[in-house]
Each structure stands twice: as structure tokens, then as C-alpha cells.
A and B are shown apart, each in its own frame.
Chain A
Amino acid sequence: MSQAVMKGAAPAAPRKDKVETPFRRFVSEFAESKIALGGLIVFTIIALVAIFASVIAPQNPYDLAQLDIMDGRMEPGTVGGAGFTYWLGTDDQGRDMMSGIMYGLRISLTVGAGSALIACMVGASLGLLAAYAGGRTDTVIMRLVDLQLSFPSILVALMILAFLGKGVMNVVIALVIVEWAYYARTVRGTALVERRREYIEAAQCLALPTHRILFRHLLPNCLPPLIVVATMQVARAIALEATLSFLGLGVPITEPSLGLLIANGYEYMLSGKYWISFYPGIALLVTIVSINLVGDQLRDVLNPRLKK
């Protein structure tokens, strides 16, 4: 008897003809929360908008030929000189805010997801190694993790960007250094339990190479908590990147992420032109909240302790 059937005994009856795979069970448990499902849908839309920004955006905000300085700082809904409506207004250079946000999302999501992915690989590898090797290796890696986590993320990122200077690559490096420790700690915790299981012993008896045991046997069994942490860290990375860009330490002006768009609107806001900062912020907020909602539900579904 699986959990899904036990939970909703009566309504599950007509579905019995379907074979219940772990994946189907996971999907149906995830879909139990309508809010999380909504978050997933919203995030999918955001991701699609970011991917196809160059197709659906009314203008290319980086192509100076398409910008009309005469259309600068127009209110949302005004019809511009080129004939189309600026639904979210324009910035000081006559750039359509809606297009700017779509392209900005692209950079924010790329930096957020990219850094989370690299940090995940680095952190998970070190966490696995720490748990599997134990002893001195474990002590050194975990001391490093403890040291890093005792400083707030913004401070570490600030320090690294003060060393390296601005740039998309440098922001990614800073975010990876900030985040790897979370992955390492999570993976080590799970791997410490898993490495005492029989299948690891069996793999060792077969004299498999260590890297094979680590990545083919140990890692797949440490995935659930890793996925939860990774989801949450993507949201954190996006927020941190936006903050750094707002402070002028993040992405360069030629590749404006949402944070930089918000920063650009700062000076105009004091004269009441709110839209330059307001809408990119809403886009940022919706992105972060939708990811967090999905992550919250993933944690509930993937956590074996919460299952009855």
C-alpha cells in the first residue's frame, strides 16, 4: 500500500488501473498543494518568457537603433513615437520597460540558475567526499563550511566582488562561493547515513573505484534533500544577484539584470516616476516567491519524516 492511496482512499479508487510509479506518486503528492502548483505554473511562464524574450518582446532593449530618446520616461500605457504602446512605460533612454524586464529576467535567471548549478556540483562533491572519506578530510571541509556559514552571504559576496570587480562571471563566482557550503552540509548529512548501508558495502566489496561509488551509488540516494536545497538556493541566488547589481557591484550596465533595472529607476522615483523601479521589482518578487512556493512543497513531499 502506498502513501498516496492511503491518504485519499475513496477518490483514488478509479485511478487503480494506472500503474503507480514513484514518479507518478511524486507528481500527485506535489499537486496536492494548489498554491505550490500555482507557483510552478507561474515559474514556468516566467522561464518561458525569459527564454523566448527575443521573440515576444516588443523591442530589443539593447539595440540603440530601436530606441527613441524622445520616448524617454513615458508613463505606462502611453503610445510611443514608433506606434506601439508602452504598457509598462519607458526608462530614461526611451527603452520599453516590458522588453527590458523580459531581457532582464533572462540574465537574472541565467545567473541564478547557473551559479546554483555550479555551486551544487562543487558543494555536493565536497560533501560526498567529506562523508565518505571521514577523518581529516571531513574535518577540514566541514571547518571550512562552518567558517563560511558564520558570515552572512551578502558580506562574503561583497568581499569577493571587492576583490574581483564587476561582471557577470564574477557575480557567478561570488554566488558559487557563497552557496557551495549549503550544498556540502546538506549532502554530507544525508551521505553519512547512507554510506553505512549495505549497498555501499556491496559496492566496496566489488572493488569499484571510489568515484564510481561516490557518484553512481551514494549521490543518487542523497538527491531528495539536495533538490530541495537547490530550489531554495536558486531563489536566494537571484535575490542576491539583484541586490549586488543594485549596489552597483554586480552585472555591468550592458547586461542589465532586474536588480540593475531597479537601480536605474532610483533617481527618477524621487520625482514620482515610479514605474522604472516598480515593475522590475514586481517581476523579481513574483519569480522569487514562485520558486520558494515550489521549494516549500518539494520539501514536504520529499521529506520522509513527514510521511505517515
Chain B
Amino acid sequence: MAVYLVRRLMQALLVVLAMSIIVFVGVYAIGDPVEILISPDADQLERERAIRALGLDLPLWQQYLVFLTNALQGDLGRSFVFNEPALKLILQRMPATLELAFGAMFLSILIGLPLGLYAGLRPNSAASKTIMAGSILGFSLPTFWVGLMLIMVFAVQLGWLPSTGRGETCSVLGFIGLQPCSAGLQWSWLTGDGLAHMVMPAINLALFKISLVIRLTRAGVRETMLMDYVKFARAKGLSASRVTFVHVFKNILIPVVTVVGLELGSTIAFSVVTESVFAWPGMGKLIIDSINVLDRPVIVAYLMIIVMMFITINLVVDLTYSLLDPRVRLENKGT
């Protein structure tokens, strides 16, 4: 196990390193940041000073080495636009993205699980067929367009919910009330206004996951219902609700929760779209804005952070599987 762990860790590190080269070369080798950053009116001397200040006069591999050394010390460069450390900019916006992603995951279970359970228990009823058709729609609907339609109906026409932004935030992990709010991490879901702002983006982001959970749950229920232990529980004369909620439900919960957990990464990635629609000030909106103005350090920092995140998630999943399934371990011992 220890050998496998070390080998898997080495592999992950190698991938991180490879990705850092791809990202760095991709972002820095194409296009010329000088054109964008320095005003065309600047004279030759000013231009050269600016180029030197930004380190753009060095050869690419040296720029990469400087980048790598700094990255290992937690410095991913300064944003050209905000003139602040890129890492800080991203970390500042991370709570907004995370609360949106977790809100969406929560909603997908809250809505998807009961619907999937119903569709699995009564597969031939009209309501189940509607649910399943709805889930196909959930897979097919373009997320950004649904977001726009939500804004149109609930914000513009009905006026029930605020259309964009994050609303009032509340600071936790800083000192509530003692310090100005900017000191701690900002959370929307702790205030009523923030929560109202969060409803539509969270539903929008959850839409795809809801469909996924419905399908998983339904398939799980239909499979479990045929199992001997369910038949036995019925034969014992247990009530239908007890069979459903204790014997069936418990068993389908494990795979569903696993998959939903695995989807966290992709939810964070897809929040790029939702954040742009609802002007939600998270990491996703930041990266889109940064790409549009070619704010390279922020682009690189975002991509590196998200790549690290995915590699970590995959690593954890692989290790958990190898703990649970001895076949994976043995297979790796052989090679």
C-alpha cells in the first residue's frame, strides 16, 4: 500500500509539473502582453522600463523558472490589472464560488433524491415519466440560457428575486462585528439578502446535477428493489415505507453521495458560466474577465489552482478506491 501511495503521489506531482509547463507556455508564448499593458502613447524608454519591471524581457524558460520558484513560495505573480497578488485575488473570490457550488450540490440532492426515488418506485406512472423527461431536458438545456430565462421570469417580470450580484455578505472566520467586514471571509448564505441573491444561481448551477441525481437514484432503486433482501423484508411483513426508507434508501445513498461528491470539481468549473450570467463575483467571473483583458498572472494562477484541485480530488478518489477495492491495489503491484 505504501509503495502504491508513493507511486500515485509521484504521478500526481508529475502531472502538476506538466500542467504548469503547458499553462505557462500556453499563456505566455502566445500574444504579446506589452501591447495590452502599456499605453500606446508611452515612449520607448517608458516601454522598456515597464517590460523590465514585469520581467517580460527574459527568455521564456527563465521566465518559467522564475515563475516556478515563486509559485513554490506561494507567489503566482501580480495581476497586471489590479496590481495585487494573483493568488490573493483568487482566494478572495473563492468563498463566493464555493458557497455557490455547495449550495448547488445541496439543492441537487434535496430535489433530485426524492424525485429519483419516486420515479424508481413507480416507474410506469405518468408523474415518473414526466420526471424522466424533465431530466433529459435538464441534460440538454444550455445552462447559460436557463440562467437568463430565470432572471427574465423571476427578477424582471415577477420581481421576486434580485437579478445579479451577491447581495449583503457576512463575515465569518474574521471577527463578526468587531472588525470591518472586509477582514474575514465573506459569505452570502448567512444573510437573508445574500440568500435571496443565491437562490437563482444555485438552482441554475444545480440543474444538471439534479438530472444526474434523479437518474442515478432511479436506476439504483430499480436495481435494489429486485434484491433478495428487499423481497425478504417484504415477506417479513414490514411496512412499505420501512422497506423503502430503511432497506432501499440506505443502500442507494452510498453510490449517489459518492458521485455527487465527485461532481464537486466539475460544479466549481461550470460555475464559470453561472457566475457570468448572474454577475456573481466568484473565481469564475474573475477568470473570464481576466481572459478578456489578458491578465496573464491571474489566468495562470486560476488554471494552476483549479488543476491542483482536480488532481487532488482524483488522487483522493483513487486512494479511497484502492482502500476499498483490493483488486486495484493488486493490479498496481504487478506493474
User: How many whole Å from A304's CB to the nearest CB in chain B?
Assistant: 21
Q: Which residues of B contact A169 (CB under 8 A)?
A: none
Whether the pair A162, B142 counts as a contact (CB closer than 8 A) is no
A235 near B: Cβ within 8 Å?
yes
Whether the pair B273, A152 counts as a contact (CB closer than 8 A) is no
Whether the pair B140, A292 counts as a contact (CB closer than 8 A) is yes
Cα distance A265–B151 in the bound complex, in angstroms: 13
User: How many whole Å from A114's CB to the nearest CB in chain B?
Assistant: 19
Whether the pair A162, B26 counts as a contact (CB closer than 8 A) is yes
Whether the pair A289, B140 counts as a contact (CB closer than 8 A) is yes
Q: Which of A24-32, A64-72, A93-101, A271-279 contacts B (4 or more CB under 8 A)?
A: A271-279
Q: A235-B140, A246-B144 are in contact. Are A272 and B157 (CB under 8 A)?
A: yes
Q: A248-B292, A269-B151, A274-B152 are in contact. Are A152 and B23 (CB under 8 A)?
A: no
Whether the pair B288, A147 counts as a contact (CB closer than 8 A) is no
Whether the pair B291, A155 counts as a contact (CB closer than 8 A) is no
Cα distance A162–B292 in the bound complex, in angstroms: 9
Pick the most buried of B15, B144, B155: most chain A CB atoms within 10 A of its CB: B144
Cα distance A161–B152 in the bound complex, in angstroms: 29
Q: Which residues of A contact B139 (CB under 8 A)?
A: 292
Whether the pair A281, B148 counts as a contact (CB closer than 8 A) is yes
Whether the pair A247, B288 counts as a contact (CB closer than 8 A) is yes
B127 near A: Cβ within 8 Å?
no
Cα distance A284–B137 in the bound complex, in angstroms: 12
B97 near A: Cβ within 8 Å?
no
Cα distance A163–B30 in the bound complex, in angstroms: 6
Pick the most buried of A159, A165, A284: most chain B CB atoms within 10 A of its CB: A159
User: How many whole Å from B273's CB to the nearest CB in chain A?
Assistant: 6
User: How many whole Å from A138's CB to the nearest CB in chain B?
Assistant: 13
Q: A150-B314, A152-B266, A277-B148 are in contact. Are A284 and B292 (CB under 8 A)?
A: no
Cα distance A261–B157 in the bound complex, in angstroms: 21
Residue of A with least CB distance to B153: A274
Residue of B with least CB distance to A165: B31
Of the candidates A162, A246, A288, the one whose C-beta lies within 8 Å of that of B27 is: A162
User: How many whole Å from B321's CB to the nearest CB in chain A?
Assistant: 14
Mark each residue of chain A from 21 to 55: 1 if its CB lies under 8 Å from any CB of chain B, else 0: 00000000000000000000000000000000000
Whether the pair B151, A270 counts as a contact (CB closer than 8 A) is yes
Q: A162-B303, A270-B156, A277-B148 are in contact. Are A288 and B276 (CB under 8 A)?
A: no
Q: A147-B15, A289-B140 are in contact. Are A247 and B30 (CB under 8 A)?
A: no
Q: A162-B27, A269-B148 are in contact. Are A154 and B288 (CB under 8 A)?
A: no
Whether the pair A269, B152 counts as a contact (CB closer than 8 A) is yes
The secondary structure that dominates the B interface is: helix
Of the candidates A152, A162, A285, A292, the one whose C-beta lies within 8 Å of that of B299 is: A162
Mark each residue of chain A from 217 to 252: 1 if its CB lies under 8 Å from any CB of chain B, else 0: 000000000000000000100010011001111000
Of the candidates A152, A162, A248, A272, the one whose C-beta lies within 8 Å of that of B270 is: A152
Of the candidates B27, B156, B276, the one whose C-beta lies within 8 Å of that of A163 is: B27
Cα distance A285–B303 in the bound complex, in angstroms: 30
User: How many whole Å from B192's CB to the nearest CB in chain A?
Assistant: 23
Cα distance A245–B41 in the bound complex, in angstroms: 32
B145 near A: Cβ within 8 Å?
yes
Q: How large is the interface on A (under 10, 10 to 19, 20 to 34, 35 or more residues)?
A: 35 or more
Of the candidates A160, A164, A249, the one whose C-beta lies within 8 Å of that of B288 is: A249
Whether the pair A151, B310 counts as a contact (CB closer than 8 A) is yes
Whether the pair B26, A159 counts as a contact (CB closer than 8 A) is yes
B128 near A: Cβ within 8 Å?
no
Tally chain B residues at the interface, Cβ within 8 Å: 41
User: How many whole Å from A13's CB to the nearest CB in chain B?
Assistant: 30
Whether the pair A165, B30 counts as a contact (CB closer than 8 A) is yes
B287 near A: Cβ within 8 Å?
yes
User: How many whole Å from A88's CB to the nearest CB in chain B?
Assistant: 15
Q: Which residues of B contact A277 (CB under 8 A)?
A: 145, 148, 152
Residue of A with least CB distance to B307: A151
Q: Which residues of A contact B137 (CB under 8 A)?
A: 289
A266 near B: Cβ within 8 Å?
yes
B56 near A: Cβ within 8 Å?
no
A262 near B: Cβ within 8 Å?
yes
Of the candidates A159, A246, A285, the one whose C-beta lies within 8 Å of that of B141 is: A285
Residue of A with least CB distance to B139: A292
Q: Which residues of B contact A274 (CB under 8 A)?
A: 152, 156
Residue of B with least CB distance to A291: B140
Q: Which residues of A contact B140 (CB under 8 A)?
A: 235, 239, 285, 288-289, 292
Mark each residue of chain B from 133 to 149: 1 if its CB lies under 8 Å from any CB of chain A, else 0: 00011011111110011
Whether the pair B145, A284 counts as a contact (CB closer than 8 A) is yes
Residue of A with least CB distance to B263: A152
User: How many whole Å from A152's CB to the nearest CB in chain B?
Assistant: 4
User: How many whole Å from A286's CB to the nearest CB in chain B?
Assistant: 10
Cα distance A272–B15 in the bound complex, in angstroms: 48
B316 near A: Cβ within 8 Å?
no
Whether the pair B149, A281 counts as a contact (CB closer than 8 A) is yes
Whether the pair A242, B266 counts as a contact (CB closer than 8 A) is no
Cα distance A242–B141 in the bound complex, in angstroms: 11
Q: Which residues of A contact B156 (CB under 8 A)?
A: 269-272, 274
B163 near A: Cβ within 8 Å?
yes
A–B pairs, 13, beta carbons within 8 Å: A151-B307, A152-B270, A155-B269, A159-B23, A162-B287, A247-B272, A265-B148, A266-B148, A270-B151, A270-B156, A270-B163, A277-B152, A285-B141
Give 5 new A-B contacts, CB below 8 A, not counting A151-B310, A154-B272, A259-B142.
Answer: A152-B269, A159-B23, A242-B142, A265-B148, A269-B151
